[in-house]
Amino acid sequence: MLHVFRNKPKYATVRPEKANQDGVENGGSAGKGNDPQWTRCDNCSSLIYNKELHKNNYVCHHCGFYFRMSAVQRLQQLADENTFQPFEPLVSCNPLDFPGYPAKITQCQNATQLDDAILIGEAKIEGYGCVLGIIDFGFIGGSMGSVVGEQITRGFEYGIAKQLPVVIVSGGGGGARMQEGIFSLMQMAKTAQAVGRFKKAGLFYLSVLTHPTMGGIYASFASLGDIILAEPKALIGFAGPRIVAETTRQKLPPDFQTAEYALKHGMIDGIVIRSEMKATISKLLSYHL
């Protein structure tokens, strides 16, 4: 039943060092004189030395702004060094023959050095073994097509097979991947069922929501965690705020669909600042051995 690869490949498809050196992808722009060593904070306009930013978990130490992290950066932050063993890499097809989709995939692959919008494998977090999956917003908005759906599903199946907890860090803007149409929608069912089977096996699933976790990703595996944590101010919801505003013609509350709003309305267990995320995850893993 399990489709996870049996012979671990010697190669992985991530280049953390490279991604890192390439600088910060979101929430910042190249610094003065286009110096790639520096990044300008989109919130307070401060110039920050990239290495400094990396050390500070991509949080601006001037204004506290959370830069968006790539999956690779997130992996470096959360996983113990040299412990990550990626799953067999999968790539998208074009089941609807959607015009322009293959080109878009290639473009995102080149930009992110990922095969699709997810980085997933076995890892250790402060010594605790787990399946760690991270959605990368930089890959078509971190949307879930067949590859993300399949990899998430394999993640839970791998967890069942190896009796490991699963940690998924979500951050998919639109949720579903429009270009895969109904196949994308069906990944919601597939992944939710994978969570269900995993839970019935008595194992622990920790869902971590980062900015933004919306649509089909939120409405499937991301909101089904035994425990759900979120980063401060992360956008969390089903319908996009623009659609809600257009449909209801009402003024949205200022904190609408933020992590703080989700906490207040009982949807998540807690908000954890980025610098404490690794310690918090490992603590929760330690409660569920």
Partner 1 sequence: MPTVFEWEKPLVELEEKINELRNFIFEQGIDFKDELNDLERKADKLRKEIYERLTPWQRVRMARHPDRPTTLDYIKLVFDDFFELHGDRRFGDDHAIVGGIAVLDGEPVTVIGPQKGRDTKENITRNFGLPHPEGYRKALRLMQQAERFHRPIITLIDVVGAYPGIEAEQRGQGLVIAECIEQMSFLKVPIVCIITGEGGSGGALAIGVGDRILMMEHAWYSVISPEMCATILWKDANRASEAAELLKLTSTDLLKFGIIDDVITEPLGGAHRDHEGTGRQLKAFLRRHLSEIKRIPPDELVKHRLERFRKIGEYQAKKLNEMQVDM
Residues that bind Zn ion (CB under 5 A): 41, 43-44, 46, 60, 62-63, 65
Q: Is 220 in the site for partner 1 (CB under 8 A)?
A: yes
* 32, 81, 99, 103: which one binds partner 1 (CB under 8 A): 99
* 46, 181, 232, 260: which one binds partner 1 (CB under 8 A): 181
φ, ψ at 43 (rounded to 5°) = -90, -50
| CB of 189 vs partner 1, minimal distance in Å | 5
Q: Is 176 in the site for partner 1 (CB under 8 A)?
A: yes
Q: Is 14 in the site for partner 1 (CB under 8 A)?
A: yes
| CB of 264 vs partner 1, minimal distance in Å | 6
Cα dihedral: 259, 30, 74, 215 (round 10): 40
172 near 188, Cβ under 8 Å? Answer: no
| CB of 43 vs Zn ion, minimal distance in Å | 4
User: CA end-to-end span of the chain, whole Å?
Assistant: 25
Contacts of 89 (CB under 8 A, 6+ apart): 13, 115
Residues 52-91 that bind partner 1 (CB under 8 A): 88-91
Q: Which is nearer to partner 1, 80 or 269 (CB)?
A: 269
Q: Letter for the amino acid at 58?
A: Y
List Cβ<8 Å contacts ≥24 apart for 267-272.
267/223, 267/228, 267/236, 268/209, 268/228, 268/229, 268/230, 268/236, 269/227, 269/228, 269/229, 270/229, 270/230, 271/229, 271/230, 271/231, 271/232, 272/229, 272/230, 272/231
Q: Is 122 in the site for partner 1 (CB under 8 A)?
A: no
DSSP annotation of 285 reads: H
Binds 115: which of Zn ion, partner 1, none (CB < 5-8 Å by kind): partner 1
Residues 136-165 that bind partner 1 (CB under 8 A): 146-147, 149-150, 153
Binds 44: which of Zn ion, partner 1, none (CB < 5-8 Å by kind): Zn ion
**CA distance linking residue 15 with residue 153, whole number of Å:** 24
Q: Is 224 in the site for partner 1 (CB under 8 A)?
A: yes
145 near 187, Cβ under 8 Å? Answer: yes
261 near 255, Cβ under 8 Å? Answer: yes
Q: Which is nearer to partner 1, 65 or 204 (CB)?
A: 204
| CB of 80 vs partner 1, minimal distance in Å | 14
| CB of 60 vs Zn ion, minimal distance in Å | 3
| CB of 47 vs partner 1, minimal distance in Å | 31
